[in-house]
C-alpha cells in the first residue's frame, strides 16, 4: 500500500504572507498525524522563505511519525540535518527565483560530489533520497551514489494529465520505477499530485510513498486539514496495488 507524506510548506507560506505566527506548521503536522498521515515533509530553503529553523527543530522533537527534510546539497544543510537527525532527507535542486522546485537533481553531473556528500548522512543513520526527473540515466547515477531512495518528480505528468501526452509522461515514471527497483533503489514520488491525477501514480508497482502538499492544503481551505488528509489517504488506501 502506498503511504502518504504531507508537505506542510504551504502552511508556512500562508504564515509568511503576514509575517506573523499563524498558521503554525507545527500544529499542522499534529493535525496531519491525527488524520493518519504517514510522514511530514518540510523543505528548509536557503532563504527560509517559508519553513524556518524553528519549525524544523520543533518538528524533529514532537512529531510521532517520520520527518522528511527536503534540502539543497549544501554544507549548511548537511550540518543542520546532522544536528536534528530527521528520519530522512531528500536532496533537491534549489533556485532562489523559483516559486517551487522546478525539476530534479542532475545526479549524472553531480555524482561524485553527491557520493561524498551523502556519506556523513548515511553514517548518521539518516535515510537519503534523491529528487530526480524520471530519466533512466538519472536513475542509474542515483544508484551509484549509495542513496537508498529516489523521489521521482511527477511535475510533467501532472501538467500533462488528461491530455494527449499523459501516457508518455506516465510511462517514463513507470519505467524509471522499474529500473530503480532492479538497481536496489526504493521509490517515492511527488510534485503536482492531486485528488484527480494521483490514482494512476499509485497503480505503479513498487511505489512506496507520495509526498503531496499544495493540493491537500488547498482542499483544507474548504474542508479543514484533517479531512483533506483523510480524503487523500482514502484514495491511497483504496486504489494502491
- Catalytic residue IDs: 43, 70, 191
- Judge residue 4's burial from the number of C-beta atoms within 10 Å of its C-beta, 0-12 exposed, 13-18 middle, 19 or more buried: buried
Local structure of residue 185 (DSSP, 8 states): -
C-alpha span between 205 and 25 (Å, rounded): 32
The set of cell numbers assigned to 27 is: 500544529
C-alpha span between 111 and 105 (Å, rounded): 10
What is the DSSP secondary-structure string of 64-90? SS-EEEEE-S-HHHHHHHHHH--SEEE
Between the two ends of the chain, the Cα-to-Cα distance in Å is 6
- What is the CA 28 to chain-centroid distance, rounded? 17
C-alpha span between 105 and 72 (Å, rounded): 10
Amino acid at each position: 500500500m502506498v503511504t502518504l507524506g504531507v508537505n506542510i510548506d504551504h502552511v508556512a507560506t500562508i504564515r509568511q504572507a503576514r509575517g506573523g505566527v499563524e498558521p503554525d506548521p507545527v500544529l499542522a503536522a499534529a493535525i496531519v498525524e491525527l488524520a493518519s498521515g504517514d510522514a511530514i515533509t518540510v523543505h528548509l530553503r536557503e532563504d527560509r522563505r517559508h519553513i524556518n529553523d524553528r519549525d524544523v527543530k520543533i518538528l524533529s522533537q514532537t512529531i510521532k511519525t517520520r520527518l522528511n527534510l527536503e534540502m539543497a546539497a549544501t554544507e549548511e544543510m548537511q550540518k543542520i540535518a546532522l544536528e536534528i537527525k530527521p528520519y530522512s532527507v531528500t536532496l533537491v535542486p534549489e533556485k532562489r527565483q523559483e516559486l517551487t522546485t522546478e525539476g530534479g537533481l542532475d545526479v549524472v553531473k553531480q555524482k561524485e560530489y553527491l557520493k561524498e556528500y551523502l556519506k556523513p548522512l548515511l553514517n548518521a543513520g539518516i535515510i537519503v533520497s534523491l529528487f530526480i526527473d524520471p530519466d533512466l540515466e538519472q536513475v542509474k547515477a542515483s544508484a551509484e551514489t549509495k542513496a537508498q531512495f529516489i523521489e521521482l518528480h511527477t511535475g510533467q505528468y501532472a501538467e500533462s494529465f488528461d491530455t494527449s501526452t499523459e501516457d508518455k509522461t506516465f510511462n517514463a515514471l513507470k519505467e524509471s520505477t522499474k529500473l530503480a527497483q532492479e538497481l536496489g533503489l526504493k521509490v517515492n514520488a511527488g510534485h503536482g499530485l492531486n485528488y484527480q491525477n494521483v490514482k494512476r501514480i499509485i497503480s505503479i508497482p513498487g511505489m512506496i510513498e507520495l509526498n503531496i502538499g499544495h493540493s491537500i492544503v488547498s482542499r483544507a481551505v474548504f474542508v479543514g486539514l484533517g479531512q483533506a488528509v483523510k480524503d487523500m489517504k482514502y484514495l491511497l488506501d483504496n486504489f494502491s496495488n
